[in-house]
Amino acid sequence: MKNQLVIVLDFGGQYNQLIARRVRECGVYCEVKPYTTPLDELKARNPIGIIFTGGPNSVYLENAPKVDPEIFTWGVPILGICYGCQLMAQTLGGEVTAAQEDSAREYGKTHTYYDISCRIFKGLPAEGISWMSHGDYMAKVPEGFALTAHTDACPNVAIADEARGFYGVQYHPEVNHTENGVKMIRNFLYEVCGAKGDWSMQDYCQTAVAQIREKVGNGKVLLALSGGVDSSVAAALLAEAVGDQLTCVFVDHGLMRKNEGDEVEAAFSKWKFHFVRVDAEARFLGKLAGVSEPEKKRKIIGEEFIRVFEEEAKKIGRVDFLVQGTIYPDVIESGAGDAEVIKSHHNVGGLPDYVDFKEIIEPLRLLFKDEVRQLGRELGLPEYLVMRQPFPGPGLAIRIIGEITKEKADLLRDADAIFREEIANAGLEYSINQYFAVLTDTRSVGVMGDGRTYDYTLALRGVTTTDFMTADWARIPYEVLDKVSVRIVNEVKGINRIVYDITSKPPATIEWE
């Protein structure tokens, strides 16, 4: 391996992959390893630095995860975050206890003061907000360490032994809420570990291609392509790796946006894999006829999708590998446990149970959305595919309230296309995270020319969000809304009234169904 390496030692915290992602963002190759990895194994990899992650435990409990104390005599720089900081303090002779007073137990955004002579705070402001989440307190700091940050409530939120290259922070520099957090990680990498910044997405791409080639050998690979960002990038990566051993099946359920099916076909039919577009509009609309209940629509589409995919897979014959475009946030969300099902979100891009194959390949499993986009660019995908906004698997079926017909789908497609065009004309397409039109089942009276109309009401929805779990309604300028409204009622026959949805999530959801 030609790249410098940083190891993130995982103690079970919720932001571990986010730390890895921040290190990659700083141009340094990084791997996450369980805290149980033997020291010899870590040493054999010759990392330039190690980061201990946070974790849910308290270091003073009997079964709390520990490290081999020899890690501290090896000579490699270490940054401990939250639990990692406390573990370092305790192992080196400090003392960690449950915070006695509520004041030393800190959660959330906390005003913090930094000693900027410390190398990890070099060049940064002397105070700012940090994101805390700890109930324990370093009652005694180990010998050789200086206190390098404090808050109003807590004297020791960061410690450093500059001579040995050991740093600990009680807060989470990896989350966005910590001002300059990524710069602190960058300082650890560049000022302390001597990073050169020799890693890029191009390296990731080359490594992933080599790994896929090795795994697949001369096996056959199948991928369900939806035209969304994740499956498109996965397809491009697999194409690069195993070319004509790959078949991509694009099931067009007839509920795509305007021209979308043709765009997907145009973008992918030139690639050197086998591209199969299944025109299943009639089949899906047939199954959906007369159905208006949202969950039932989703179920029908999910099941029908499997059937179609299965039939195509059979035509190909024996498949060895099935590719899924799962990305890291999907991994976290699906592990979320007992959360109540609000909507049975399924991504129709990947439903492997019914297809006979040897193994699943998930080449994007450790990447965050913007890294997936970066990888897509690296692989030469067009910008409109790489930057595409999310589109739900069941497509327009959940944006047509009530029963679905082809006529309604066409109405919605035309109106939605105008909305998207005007948002792009206003230069807002990347500042609003998701925006679309919804065809309601309400009709109202209007007047056009001298005549009465009795047509559908169309709702416009636009949201800003980073994680799609919560969202705010987008403050689209009135002039833009006005233009969209005028154009739609003039150009789309059958719609005579436009409303804009001004509810956030929660209490509403992003989609209407």
Provide the binding-site residues for ligand XMP, judged by CB under 6 A: 298, 343, 345-347, 390, 392-394, 434, 468, 505, 509-511
Report the distance separating Cα 488 and Cα 474, nearest Å.
20
Q: What is the DSSP string of 46-81?
A: --SEEEE---SS-TTSTT-----GGGGTS---EEEE
Name which of 373 and 497 has its Cβ closer to ligand XMP: 373
Tell the smallest beta-carbon distance from residue 415 to ligand XMP (Å): 17
Tell the smallest beta-carbon distance from residue 298 to ligand XMP (Å): 6
Handedness of CA 374, 375, 377, 378 (dihedral sign): positive
Report the distance separating Cα 473 and Cα 435, nearest Å.
10
Rg (CA), the chain: 27
3 state DSSP class of 303: helix
Report the distance separating Cα 445 and Cα 450, nearest Å.
13
Name which of 347 and 485 has its Cβ closer to ligand XMP: 347
Name which of 137 and 391 has its Cβ closer to ligand XMP: 391
Report the distance separating Cα 156 and Cα 348, nearest Å.
49
Tell the smallest beta-carbon distance from residue 370 to ligand XMP (Å): 16
Name which of 128 and 329 has its Cβ closer to ligand XMP: 329
Tell the smallest beta-carbon distance from residue 349 to ligand XMP (Å): 7
**235 is written with which tokens?**
């397809």
CA-to-CA dists, residue 392 to 166, 251, 327, angstroms: 46, 14, 15
**502 is written with which tokens?**
């001004």
Name which of 378 and 513 has its Cβ closer to ligand XMP: 513
Q: Would you please indicate which residues are annotated as catalytic (active-site) residues?
A: 82, 172, 174
Tell the smallest beta-carbon distance from residue 289 to ligand XMP (Å): 20
Name which of 181 and 392 has its Cβ closer to ligand XMP: 392
Name which of 434 and 440 has its Cβ closer to ligand XMP: 434
Tell the smallest beta-carbon distance from residue 229 to ligand XMP (Å): 12
Report the candidate in 351, 304, 344, 308 with the shortest Cα–Cα distance to residue 326.
351
Enumerate long-range contacts of 192-196, CB under 8 Å, 24 or more apart.
Answer: 192/49, 192/77, 192/79, 192/119, 192/120, 192/165, 192/167, 193/6, 193/48, 193/49, 193/77, 193/165, 194/48, 195/4, 195/6, 195/26, 195/27, 195/28, 195/48, 195/49, 196/4
Tell the smallest beta-carbon distance from residue 511 to ligand XMP (Å): 3
**77 is written with which tokens?**
């720089």
Report the candidate in 62, 170, 194, 61 with the shortest Cα–Cα distance to residue 110.
170
